[in-house]
Amino acid sequence: MNFIIEKNELSSLTTIVYRAASNKNAIPVLSGLLLEVSLEKGLTMTATDMEIGIKASIPNIEVIEEGSALVNAHYFADFIKLLPDTAIEVKYNKDTARLDIYYGRSSGSINTYRDYDYPDLPLNKLECNFLLPQQILKEALKKTVFAAANSHFRQVFTGVLFDIVEDQVLKIIASDTHRLAYYTYKLENYEAEPFSFIIPIRSVNELLRLLDDSEEKINISIGENNVVFYKDDFILLSRLIEGQYPNYEQVIPESFSTSLNIKTDLLEKTLERAKTMPTDDKLKIQNVRLSFKEKEVIVHSYSEIMGEIEEVLEDIELEGENDLSIVFNTNYFLDVVKIMDNESDQVDIKLSGSLGPALIKNPQKENYIYVLVPLRTNN
């Protein structure tokens, strides 16, 4: 194997792929990055830890000799990233079993895995189940993945649910049982039966790094225990999380006692200041209390160690019951307000009492809602 490539091209491709490799030493080849060079495809890189796999190609290289080599993914990525911006020659030396890398008059060599049996990504029976514009998938995942649990005794809550229901509607859902993010999209030219699958948070975050904001479609294919997202220049394969996702529709409140419309940036800045109050031993979770009056909302955050903040928000529209108080996890509340601030000047907050779940949404959009369960406190 021998080829020449610009450093920026090599670094960009490596950055896309290498993170799928394992950073554990239990099975050495799974910490590897497979480089394959051919006249037909140029340079192709593959990495997998058997939970997630990424394969991507770049055609614009000078192929001197076709071939392949397997190197440590993380070391290779760190080294390539620090090379000067110049043409890079990469050559596999059969005598030393090293990958020699030349940049200007300098060079480096990286050991390769000699007798490796690198696992193929199971792509041989790839059939497209449905298509999504990249910008839609990217928006949906950005607006949901943060609501999933990093760890939970029910593993389904550590992933994002794709649920295709009747009338060709795709629902993308994430929840940690304290909050729920819910995105809907009407599929085009979809005729198969309804079905659902759950992918882990890590796979979602890696996919977000690969997607762009274009209308170009990405193919999504479901296997027995994995899902594949692919287009011409990359493939991402992820294992699926097994288990039945609970009925998420039943946690969405149907009636409300209070409706609040408020400027998004005003609320975001207020919550950012409230977040400066540290947690106490007694109150492990940062929280804010919203107390409603006839024409205003009082936002209060308290720390026994540090002090307290109380802000009065007057530029609001309030309907329904206006003599109530509700407590939210500050970070959970701020997460969705930041999303709203990117797309709307106003945010709607609908309450179903002091202890009932709140529904938060952009008043101009119907395809995304956020349900937040209030905290119970003794104060």
Q: At residue 128, does pLDDT exceed 90?
A: no
Distance of CA 87 to the CA centre of its chain: 34
Q: Where in the chain is the domain with CATH 3.10.150.10?
A: 2-111, 130-249, 252-372
- Specify the 3-state DSSP secondary structure of 207: helix
Mean pLDDT of the 329-345 span: 96
Instruction: State residue 379's pLDDT score.
Output: 55
Instruction: State residue 117's pLDDT score.
Output: 82
Q: At residue 281, does pLDDT exceed 70?
A: no
* Integer CA distances (angstroms), 211 to 139, 207, 299, in order: 10, 6, 38
Instruction: State residue 188's pLDDT score.
Output: 86
* Integer CA distances (angstroms), 192 to 228, 316, 363, in order: 17, 46, 33
Q: What are the start-end ranges of the H helices in 178-295?
A: 201-210, 264-274
Distance of CA 322 to the CA centre of its chain: 37
* Alpha-carbon span 333 to 275, nearest angstrom: 11
Instruction: State residue 267's pLDDT score.
Output: 97
DSSP label at residue 41: T
Q: 212: number of CA atoms within 13 Å, CB side?
A: 8
Mean pLDDT of the 216-229 span: 92
pLDDT tens digits along 248-263: 999 999 999 999 999 9
Here the tokens at position 363 are: 């008043």
> What is the overall mean pLDDT for the chain?
93
Instruction: State residue 378's pLDDT score.
Output: 65
- Specify the 3-state DSSP secondary structure of 10: helix
Instruction: State residue 294's pLDDT score.
Output: 79
Q: At residue 152, does pLDDT exceed 70?
A: yes
Percent residues over pLDDT 70 in the chain: 98
pLDDT tens digits along 41-95: 999 999 999 999 999 999 999 999 999 999 999 999 999 999 999 999 999 999 9
DSSP string, 108-123: EEEEB-SS--PPPPS-
Answer CATH for 252-372 from 3.40.50.1370, 3.40.50.300, 3.30.930.10, 3.10.150.10: 3.10.150.10
Instruction: State residue 279's pLDDT score.
Output: 84
* Alpha-carbon span 238 to 240, nearest angstrom: 6
Architecture of domain 2-111 in CATH?
A: Roll (3.10)
* Alpha-carbon span 47 to 45, nearest angstrom: 7
Residues in contact with 347: Cβ distance below 8 Å, sequence separation at least 6, in sequence order = 261, 262, 263, 264, 267, 337, 340, 360, 361, 362, 363
**More confidently predicted of 180 and 283:** 180
Percent residues over pLDDT 90 in the chain: 83
Task: Choose among 97, 126, 123: nearest CA to 109.
Answer: 97
Q: pLDDT confidence of 121, banded at 50, 70, 90? A: confident
**More confidently predicted of 260 and 126:** 260
Task: Choose among 322, 280, 281, 325: nearest CA to 300.
Answer: 325
pLDDT tens digits along 100-116: 999 999 999 999 997 67
> Residue 293 — left, alpha, or beta (φ > 0 → left; ψ -120 to 50 → alpha)?
beta
pLDDT tens digits along 290-307: 999 878 999 999 988 889
Q: At residue 124, does pLDDT exceed 80?
A: no
Which fold, 130-249?
Answer: DNA Polymerase III; Chain A, domain 2 (3.10.150)
Q: Which helix (H) or strand (E) holds 297?
A: strand 297-303
